[in-house]
Amino acid sequence: MRKENIIYVGIDLHKETHTAVILDCWNQKLGEITIENKPAEFHKLTRKVSRFVTEEKIPIYGLENAYGYGRTLAVWLIEKGNIVKDVNTALSYAQRKSVPMYQKSDSYDAEAVAWC
**Comparison of pLDDT for 104 and 5, the residue scoring more:** 5
Kindly compute the dihedral angle of the four CA atoms of residues 38, 87, 59, 50, in this order, to the nearest 10 degrees: 30
Question: For residue 105, how many other CB atoms are within 10 A of its CB?
Answer: 11
Mean pLDDT value across residues 82-104: 72
pLDDT reading at 76 higher than 80: yes
pLDDT at 1: 75
- List, as one string, the DSSP characters of 34-70: EEESSGGGHHHHHHHHHTT--SS-EEEEEEETTTTTT
Residue 16 CB burial class (10 angstroms; 0-12, 13-18, ≥19): exposed
Q: Mean pLDDT over all residues of the chain?
A: 88
Q: What is the pLDDT of residues 52-64, one digit of tens each?
A: 999 899 999 999 8
Q: Which domains occur in the chain, in start order?
A: 3-115 (3.30.420.40)
Other residues' Cβ atoms within 10 Å of the Cβ of residue 15: 8
pLDDT over 70 at 102, yes or no: no
Condensed to tens digits (0 to 9), the pLDDT of residues 7-47 reads 999 999 999 999 999 999 999 999 999 999 999 999 999 99
